[in-house]
Amino acid sequence: MAISRDDIAAILDEIALLLEIKGENPFKTRAYRNGAETVRNFDGDIVAKAKENDLDGIKGIGKALQEKLHELASTGKLVFHENLRGEFPEGLFELFGIQGLGPKKVRALYEKLGIDSIESLKKSCTDGSAAALPGFGKKSIEKLLESITLKEKFADLFRLGDIAHIAESMLEKLRQHPDSLRVEIAGSYRRSKEILHDLDFLVATTTPAIITQYFSELPEASSVIACGDTKASIRLANGLQCDLRAVSNQQFPFALQYFSGSKEHNVALRSRALKHGWSMNEYGFTPKDKSTPGAPAVKEEADIYRVLGLDRIPPELRENRGEIEAAEKREIPRLIELENLRGTFHNHTTASDGKNSLEEMAEAARDHGMQYLGIADHSKSQFQANGLYPERLLKQIEEIHRLNQTWDDFQLITGSEVDILKDGTLDFEDSLLGKLDYTVASIHSSFQLPEKEMTQRIIRAMENPHVTMIGHLTGRLLLKRNSYQVNIDKVLDCAARTGTIIELNCNPKRLDMDWRHWHRARDKGVMTSINPDAHSTEQLHYLAFGIRLARKGWLRREDVLNCMSLTDVQSWLKLPKDKRAQ
C-alpha cells in the first residue's frame, strides 16, 4: 500500500525524537516537527506532490526536507530514518510515555545504564542504580515509579472515544449479516462509560453458529480467543477484546438487559423481580414455584422494566445510583439529546493552536446545524500554544464582528480560554475580558498545588464577574494523568452561588467534569455548557461523546447553556452573573 501523509508525518516526528536523544541542534529537531505539521495540514495532495518532487515554495519544507519527502513518497521509506532508528533499540520509544522523562533523561538512562524499556527502567529505579545518575534524586525516582504503576494499571483499558469508531463499524457489519435479526453492543459501551475494557456484542438469530463464525472472521479480528456455537471472543489489533453472544429473538431483550449491566443495577433489578415471584436471568423470567403466575410476555427490553413496575431506564443511568427508585416514582428525567444543542462554546482557531481558521470553524459549525459557535483561543501564558496577547485578541474580536455581518442565521461569539494563574487571578485584565461575550477560565499550570490552595484558586477565578465558565475542571487526562487535587463540592457550591458554569469538556481524553458529579451539581443549581474544545473542524464531533456523558450524569436540556437559542444565549450572556443563577 502506498505511504500516507500521516505515515510520512509520523516518520518526521520520529526523526525529531531520535535527533533529540542524540542531542542534535534543537532547531534542527524543531524543523522536522514543523515539517511533520506542515505535511499533516497541507491543503492538497502533498504525497503526490512529493512523489513528483514538486515541493518548491512550501513554507517550512526546505531543500533537505524536500529530498526526504521525495524519497519517502516514491520508495515508501527513508534510508536516513532507518539508519537513525538502527542506532537505538525498539523499546526506547515507550520510555517517552513516562511522565518526567524527556530526551535528555532518556539518553542518560540509555547511555549510562543501558535502559531500553519500561521493564528495565522499573528495575533500575528499584535497585537504586538510577538514583546514582546525576539529575536523578529520590523524588524523581518516586515519580517515575508512580508513573510506571499508572501505566501498568491502564494497560488493558481503552477510552470510549478511541474505540467508538471501530465499535460502530463492527456493529454495522453484524447488522448487515442476513442471519442477524437484532444486533446491539451491550456492556459498558452501551452505558457510555468513559473507560472500557471490552466490547460486548449481542445478536438475535436462529443460526447462532453461523454468526459466531462470521464474527471470528471479521477483518478487525487480529486473533481469535474462542469461537463456539453461541459465543465467540476476538482480539483487535489494538489489544481490545470483543465478545459476542448469539441468542434467540425471544431471549434477546433479557440478554440485552443482562449484558448491559451494570452488575449493581442488575442485582437490584433481580431482587425486585424476586418480590414479584420470578427469578430473572439472561434468558427470561422463571416463576419461583408452581403457585406463582407466569410473567407477562416480553418483546422489548423496555417490557422487562414495565413488567417490574418501572419506567424504562436509559442504559446510561444503570449504575444503581438512584435510577430504580426514580423509575418507580416515574421520575426518570428526559435526558438531553445531541439534537437539543443549538451551538457550542470553547473552540480554538489558527490564532492559537487550532488547525482551522475562524471562517472554516464557523462554516463547519453551520454544517452541524448550529446557530452559534463560541471562540476561545488560548491566552498569552499559553506560549507553546501560541496564546494571544491582548492586541491579537482585540484584532480577533474585530474580525469576528466583521464576519458576523455576513450571516443572518449564524453568529460567532467572542471569547477567550483565559489561564487561571497560580494565585487564582487571570491571565488578562478585567478591562479586556469585559470586551468579550464570554470567558472560559482554565488551569494549564501548577497542577501540584495542595487541595485547599487549588480549590481556593478556582473559587477566586469563579468570583471574577467576567468568568462565564470553568474549563476542564479537574484537568484529568483519561488513562494518562490523574486530576489535580480539588474539592469538587466546594467548587460546585461556589458555581451555584456565583452563577458560574462548569463546562463538560467533550474531548475524549478529558470528559471532564466526571459524570459522577453532574446529578449532584444539577441539583445544586449548577449549569453546564457542553463544549468540544475543538482544535479543528472535525473535532466538533466530540460533542457526541459529551452528550453521552451528560446523559450519564442525568442532565436535561434545561441544565445546558448551549441548548439555548442564539437570541436567548445572547441576552443571557449580557446579564450580570448574579442574575444568571438558576
Partner DNA sequence: CTTTCTCTAAAGTGCACTGTGGCCAGTGC
Q: Which residues bind DNA (CB under 7 A)?
A: 25-28, 30-32, 35, 58-66, 99-106, 134-141, 143, 382-386, 422, 444-446, 448-449, 481
Comparing CB distances to DNA, the nearer of 141 and 240 is 141
Comparing CB distances to DNA, the nearer of 337 and 423 is 423
Comparing CB distances to DNA, the nearer of 107 and 306 is 107
Comparing CB distances to DNA, the nearer of 103 and 343 is 103
The least CB distance from residue 121 to DNA, in Å, is 12
- Owner of C-alpha cell 480577533: 396
**What are the backbone dihedrals phi and psi of residue 225, each rounded to the nearest 5 degrees, phi first?**
-85, -40
C-alpha cell at 395: 484584532
C-alpha cell at 415: 471569547
The least CB distance from residue 506 to DNA, in Å, is 18
The least CB distance from residue 83 to DNA, in Å, is 13
Comparing CB distances to DNA, the nearer of 89 and 434 is 89
At 408, is the secondary structure helix, strand, or coil?
coil
Measured CA to CA, the distance from residue 297 to residue 479 in angstroms comes to 43
User: Please, how many CA atoms are within 13 Å of residue 353, restricted to the half-sphere of its CB?
Assistant: 13
The least CB distance from residue 457 to DNA, in Å, is 11
The least CB distance from residue 410 to DNA, in Å, is 31
Comparing CB distances to DNA, the nearer of 136 and 518 is 136
Comparing CB distances to DNA, the nearer of 146 and 363 is 146
The least CB distance from residue 393 to DNA, in Å, is 17
The least CB distance from residue 432 to DNA, in Å, is 18
DSSP β-bridge partners for residue 205: 180
The least CB distance from residue 296 to DNA, in Å, is 55
Rg over alpha carbons for the chain, rounded to the nearest Å, is 27
Q: Which residues contact 573 (CB under 8 A, 6 or more apart)?
A: 413, 437, 438, 468
The least CB distance from residue 376 to DNA, in Å, is 15
Comparing CB distances to DNA, the nearer of 176 and 448 is 448
Comparing CB distances to DNA, the nearer of 482 and 582 is 482
CB neighbours of residue 409 within 10 Å: 7
For the residues of 19-49, what is the DSSP string, one character each?
HHHHT--HHHHHHHHHHHHHHHH-SS-HHHH
Comparing CB distances to DNA, the nearer of 5 and 444 is 444
The least CB distance from residue 62 to DNA, in Å, is 3
Comparing CB distances to DNA, the nearer of 265 and 476 is 476
C-alpha cell at 384: 507553546
For the residues of 212-261, what is the DSSP string, one character each?
HHHHHT-TTEEEEEEE-SSEEEEEETTS-EEEEEEE-TTTHHHHHHHHH-
Helix or strand (DSSP H, E) at 72: helix 63-75
The least CB distance from residue 24 to DNA, in Å, is 9
The least CB distance from residue 365 to DNA, in Å, is 25
Comparing CB distances to DNA, the nearer of 382 and 531 is 382
Comparing CB distances to DNA, the nearer of 397 and 441 is 441
Instruction: Show contacts of 36-45: CB within 8 Å, 24+ apart.
Output: 36/8, 36/9, 36/10, 36/12, 37/9, 39/5, 39/8, 39/9, 39/12, 39/69, 40/5, 40/6, 40/9, 41/355, 42/5
CB neighbours of residue 458 within 10 Å: 28
Whether 40 and 60 have beta carbons less than 8 Å apart is answered as: no
For the residues of 489-533, what is the DSSP string, one character each?
HHHHHHHHHHTPEEEEE--TTT-BS-GGGHHHHHHHT--EEEE--
DSSP, res 388: B
The least CB distance from residue 137 to DNA, in Å, is 2
DSSP, res 480: T
Cis peptide before 170 (omega within 30 of 0): no
- Owner of C-alpha cell 480554538: 348
Cis peptide before 529 (omega within 30 of 0): no
